[in-house]
Amino acid sequence: MFLRMSVQKYYTSDPITSQCLFNLIMKNHVFTKKRKGISTVLTTVIILVASVVLGSGVVLYGTSLFQTVAQEESIQVQGIQVWVNATDPLGDAWGAAGVRNNGDKNLSVDTIHIKGVTIPFTNWYWDTDQTRVTTDNWQATFVHEGTGGVGTLMKDSPEVTTSCTTPAATTLEIDFDGGVSNPNDTLDTLCLQQGSGPVGLKPGERAIIYFQVPQERITTLDAGAATTLKIFAGEAGAPLSTIIQNP
């Protein structure tokens, strides 16, 4: 009825004009009938699917990033030793550890923590020269060679034959197998420098670090007790347990 009235309303005596108006009315009518929007149900489904896809992408990216960091940043710590002088009531305590960068990116060993205290860098003594920190030296049993004063390790091993003039900043010299008087002397002498900051290691490189524990943190009463040593390079590392020994 509406269509018929519209046609009649716009009908004129001019055939051409009438035909054009009729065609226009019919065209608009057909377009109006065909124009439809997306249903509410379909819109909801699209939103839910998009949310699931985006959420899955975020989870996968986070997991991949975590695995990449875990694979790239890794250190191995071995041979840890902690000693306390049984005749020094204030606690003349030292420790030693071998550290290796077994990841695939450069790392800096920046934390040594024991008995509630972080050891300051100036209490670190380390060697990273790979010609001296050989696999045999790195896997050897680290030794305490006695003290040369209050809280100070003896500067030189009794049988050291090298003066460690390179580097000139050498502070301690340690030979794990007793020097040339030992017929089985095969291990290179370590030339330890006093620290002033983190110890940098490239992938695969090794370091041997001796460190002095601040006095009164470990005393003679702690000899024979278990303690936890934490060595970290950034986020890489883990707490390790050891027994405090008399030197």
> Are the C-beta atoms of residues 184 and 58 closer than 8 Å to each other?
no
Residue 77's pLDDT band, with cuts at 50, 70 and 90, is: very high
C-alpha span between 234 and 19 (Å, rounded): 84
**For residue 142, pLDDT beyond 90:** yes
Task: Please state at what angle helix 15-34 crosses helix 2-9, rounded to 10 degrees.
Answer: 150
What is the reported pLDDT for 45? Answer: 67
**For residue 26, pLDDT beyond 60:** no
Helix, strand, coil percentages in the chain from 3-state DSSP, rounded to 5: 30, 30, 40
Residue 180's pLDDT band, with cuts at 50, 70 and 90, is: low
DSSP H or E stretch at residue 41: helix 40-72
Residue 204's pLDDT band, with cuts at 50, 70 and 90, is: very high
What is the reported pLDDT for 139? Answer: 95
Among 14-18, 54-58, 99-103, 191-195, the least confident range: 14-18
**For residue 207, pLDDT beyond 50:** yes
Residue 79's identity, in one-letter code, is: G
Among 87-91, 174-178, 210-214, the least confident range: 87-91
What's the chain's average pLDDT? 77
Residue 166's pLDDT band, with cuts at 50, 70 and 90, is: low
Phi/psi for 216 (5° steps) reads 75, -5
**For residue 63, pLDDT beyond 70:** no
What is the reported pLDDT for 234? Answer: 93
C-alpha span between 246 and 220 (Å, rounded): 9
What is the reported pLDDT for 1? Answer: 44
Q: What's CA 237's distance to the chain center, in Å?
A: 7
Report the 10 Å Cβ neighbour count for 217: 16
C-alpha span between 228 and 89 (Å, rounded): 21
> Which pairs count as long-range contacts for 36-41, CB under 8 Å and 24+ apart, including other chains?
none
Phi/psi for 184 (5° steps) reads -100, 20
Per-position DSSP letters for 114-138, written without gaps between them: ETTEEPPGGGEEEE--TTTS-HHHH
**For residue 171, pLDDT beyond 80:** no
What contacts 57, CB < 8 A, 6 or more positions away? Answer: none
Q: What is residue 56's three-state secondary structure?
A: helix
**For residue 57, pLDDT beyond 60:** no
> Are the C-beta atoms of residues 192 and 174 closer than 8 Å to each other?
yes
CA dihedral 98, 104, 106, 109 (to 10 degrees): -30
**For residue 107, pLDDT beyond 80:** yes
**For residue 230, pLDDT beyond 80:** yes
The residue-averaged pLDDT of 210-226 equals 90
pTM of model > 0.85: no
DSSP H or E stretch at residue 200: strand 199-201
**For residue 227, pLDDT beyond 90:** yes
